[in-house]
Amino acid sequence: MVPGSQRRVLKDVLPFSVFLMDSFGRRHNYLRISLTEKCNLRCQYCMPQEGVTLTPRSQLLTAEELLMLARLFVREGVNKIRLTGGEPLIRPDVLPIIAELRKLEGLQTIAVTTNGMNLTRLLPSLKKAGVDLLNISLDTLAPAKFEFIARRKGFHKVMEGIEKAIEMGYNPVKVNCVVMRGLNEDELIDFVSLTERKPLDVRFIEYMPFDGNRWNFKMMVSYQEMLDFIKQKWPNLEPVPGEETDTAKAFRVPGFRGQLGFITSMSDHFCGSCNRLRITADGNLKVCLFGNSEVSLRDFLRSGATEEELLHIIGAAIGRKKKQHAGMFNISQMKNRPMILIGG
């Protein structure tokens, strides 16, 4: 860490901010911001069966605080921000927040991860405000099973949202599917078939352990097992080249309009190329999804910290980021937030 005057000189020399680079040389240019802890679904892998205790509203980041932090991160080199939850689209001021983010010079991409329940109604306004990318969670193509997994009805609303996103020109529309043995691993072929005529990027996510989701190794279907199963149907499945920092291993069935991918956090981690940081709805910085170390940027903000002081705090947290996560069995024994309180 160097004094402010020197830091500005270094920024002109170095290709990336020293504050957003960790001790392993990873450059963190992708920030995920949780807008809310609330959700209108209760998905089994995300929300504990007994629910969660919500943070009092006064302890959540205000729109002004959130935007101030976003400006700081973008100034230092973040060029992609993803808005998550809970369910981000139930936050009343989500549209003005996106519109303000769109004004940030240097921010190339604004993405939203949503369960799709409110998407059809909000999509025209979201696009107008400046949303570039959409990720929609959908774990089954069977309405009754959807209700079992999500503990709420809503399958047809989500499907309608996906169709509306395609209609409005989002290409690809990313569909996130958490695969759980005994629940939906029998639908892999059906999901891949969706990519034949639609510009979808279906991403199969290995089931991950978080507080309260009763993770069990036996329920996890590995990337390799999923890939082998899909190749029985499409042996000519071909890999799709991607960026070094991509989280998904991408594939395509030749002749299909869309593609598929696998997020292999458990069986084949991609920690070495991690470029992601997270800010929770209550203002904590998480440098690793599976780590239980957090720093309250909210508390420093409200105690009057300057931007320079905030940068030193952020830089120190990133500097402590470990080379890789602890492995799925250790993670399953570690204290961490439920997924809904981190930001899906």
What is the spatial distance between Cα 30 and Cα 78, in angstroms, rounded to a whole number? 6
Q: Say which DSSP state 77 is in.
A: T
Is the CB of residue 123 less than 8 Å from the CB of residue 148? no
Beta strands in 89-223 (DSSP E): 109-114, 133-137, 173-179, 200-206
Is the CB of residue 193 less than 8 Å from the CB of residue 141? no
DSSP lists the bridge partners of residue 140 as none
Q: Which tens digits make up the pLDDT trace of 110-143? A: 999 999 999 999 999 999 999 999 999 999 999 9
Residue ranges of the chain with pLDDT lower than 50? 1-14, 213, 329, 337, 342
- What is the domain-level CATH number for residue 43? 3.20.20.70
What Rg, from alpha-carbon coordinates, does the chain have? 20
Provide the whole-model pTM.
0.88
Burial class (CB in 10 A: 0-12, 13-18, 19+), 335: exposed
Return the closest-CA partner of residue 93 out of 71, 117, 61. Answer: 61
Return the closest-CA partner of residue 280 out of 30, 52, 35. Answer: 35
Q: Kindly state whether residue 8 falls inside one of the protein's structural domains.
A: no
Q: Kindly state whether residue 1 falls inside one of the protein's structural domains.
A: no
Distance of CA 155 to the CA centre of its chain: 21
CB proximity list for 186: less than 8 A, separation 6 or greater: none
Segment holding 30, helix H or strand E = strand 30-34
> Which tokens hold the place of 111?
């993405």
- Look-up of token digits 């990720």: 135
Q: Which tens digits make up the pLDDT trace of 249-292? A: 999 999 999 999 999 988 877 688 899 999 999 999 999 876 67
Q: Kindly state whether residue 7 falls inside one of the protein's structural domains.
A: no
Alpha-helical segments (H) within 14-108: 63-76, 94-102
- Look-up of token digits 């002109």: 12
Q: Say which DSSP state 287 is in.
A: S
Look up the domain containing 140 and give its range: 18-341
The per-residue pLDDT for 333 is 55
- Look-up of token digits 């993670």: 331
Q: Kindly state whether residue 4 falls inside one of the protein's structural domains.
A: no
Q: Kindly state whether residue 187 falls inside one of the protein's structural domains.
A: yes
Q: Kindly state whether residue 223 falls inside one of the protein's structural domains.
A: yes
Distance of CA 93 to the CA centre of its chain: 20
Q: What angle do CA 206, 33, 173 make, to 5 degrees?
A: 55
- Directed axis angle between helix 94-102 and helix 119-129, to 10°? 30
Is the CB of residue 259 less than 8 Å from the CB of residue 290? no
Is the CB of residue 132 less than 8 Å from the CB of residue 160? no
Q: Kindly state whether residue 304 falls inside one of the protein's structural domains.
A: yes
> Which string of b and e fits 115-134 if b means at least 16 CB within 10 Å?
bbbbbbebbeebbebbbeeb
CB proximity list for 105: less than 8 A, separation 6 or greater: 74
C-alpha torsion angle, residues 244, 276, 28, 306 (rounded to 10): 170
Q: Kindly state whether residue 287 falls inside one of the protein's structural domains.
A: yes
The per-residue pLDDT for 14 is 46
Count of domains observed in the chain: 1
